[in-house]
Amino acid sequence: FPCERWLAKSEDDGETVRELVPSDIFTEKLMKDGTLKQIEEEVEDTLEVHTYKISVFTGDIYGAGTDANVFLNIYGDLGDMGERKLSKSETNFNKFERGQEDTFTIQAVDLGILYKIKIRHDNSMFSPDWFLEKVEILDETTEESFVFLCERWLSKKKEDKKIERTLYEQVHKARSLVPVKYETIVVTGFEKGAGTDANVFITIYGLNGDSGRRALKQKFRNLFERGKTNRFYLETLDMGELKKVRIEHDNSGLAPGWLVERVEI
């Protein structure tokens, strides 16, 4: 995996993350005379490294800007790039200010058709609250652009008090992404002590992606009691044919142990 570039804040483009693709494969073959022969083979059809121009738009409302550190992960039908910190804006000295567009350039192995991003901040500094309007991403290699609308707060104090958002692509015509509401039924077993006081989370996986980790909660209700059935409605983009679910809890409360009879979706 050749690199030949700096991973340094003070060198090259200032990035400390590089994605590398293989150029050669070396294998050893045992010969009849007992010696090992090394065979070098050039990798064919290796993935390309693409350049992504990322434009982040902060809303033009009171208190919209943030001083916190912002992190982004981009997902495409060929994989994701891993979480990256949006460190140095190419357009502004003070990034993520009210009504401002900040541009960043990131290189990653070809992600294919982009369909979602995860963006968050670390709630640090004096004014961490952030109203994010949208994120636009241009794949400079293919000249395809993708738009991810947010128009929500990332804040521990406002709205739903979340500082991470999963945003889905809005306008790309090559992919049909339709919002779907999934009825999710969780049945707790009848055995003694089967219920749980812990916070419960679910992730649904399908051919077109996953729902992300979702909390299963309802206001003013005791959930996941012994022998009870609880019903939830999770809205996400169409995940296609469902392949699996992951159900978990955070081991909190006085009686976290839980006997799950089944999950229906």
CATH, residue 211 = 2.60.60.20
Place of tokens 């901040």: 121
Place of tokens 């989370």: 201
- How far apart CA 12 and CA 4 sit, in angstroms, is 11
pLDDT of residue 200: 93
101 in the same domain as 221: no
The residue-averaged pLDDT of 196-201 equals 92
pLDDT of residue 174: 41
The answer to whether residue 6 sits within a structural domain is no
The residue-averaged pLDDT of 101-123 equals 93
User: Structurally, how many domains does the chain consist of?
Assistant: 2
The answer to whether residue 98 sits within a structural domain is yes
The answer to whether residue 15 sits within a structural domain is no
119 in the same domain as 234: no
Domain limit, last residue, from 113, 140, 174: 174
Query: 157-169 pLDDT, tens per residue?
Result: 988 899 999 998 8
Residue 64: is its pLDDT beyond 90? yes
- 146 pLDDT band (50/70/90 cuts)? very high
The residue-averaged pLDDT of 86-115 equals 93
Tell me phi and psi for residue 205, to 5 degrees. Answer: -115, 135
Residues above pLDDT 90, as percent of the chain: 53
120 in the same domain as 190: no
184 in the same domain as 255: yes
Residue 173: is its pLDDT beyond 50? no
pLDDT of residue 44: 67
Domain limit, last residue, from 150, 174, 198: 174
Residue 57: is its pLDDT beyond 90? yes
Determine how many CB atoms are found less than 10 A away from the CB of residue 184: 20
Are 260 and 188 within 8 A, CB to CB? yes
128 in the same domain as 79: yes
- How far apart CA 56 and CA 95 sit, in angstroms, is 9
The answer to whether residue 3 sits within a structural domain is no
Strands 164-168 and 214-216, bridge-based pairing: unpaired
pLDDT of residue 41: 76
Work out the burial of residue 3: count CB atoms within 10 Å of its CB; fewer than 13 is exposed, 13-18 middle, 19 or more buried.
exposed
Are 113 and 174 within 8 A, CB to CB? yes
The residue-averaged pLDDT of 226-238 equals 90
168 in the same domain as 185: no
Residue 133: is its pLDDT beyond 70? yes
Query: In the structure encoding, which two tokens stand for residue 98, read together?
Result: 């009210």
pLDDT of residue 46: 63
Query: In the structure encoding, which two tokens stand for residue 228, read together?
Result: 């009870």
pTM, two decimals, is 0.58
105 in the same domain as 186: no
The answer to whether residue 56 sits within a structural domain is yes
- How far apart CA 132 and CA 167 sit, in angstroms, is 11
Q: Which domain holds residue 119?
A: 24-39+46-174
Determine how many CB atoms are found less than 10 A away from the CB of residue 113: 15
Q: CA angle at residue 243 from 242 to 244, to 5 degrees?
A: 105
205 in the same domain as 133: no
- How far apart CA 10 and CA 2 sit, in angstroms, is 21
The answer to whether residue 2 sits within a structural domain is no
97 in the same domain as 131: yes
pLDDT of residue 21: 75
Domain limit, last residue, from 121, 151, 174: 174
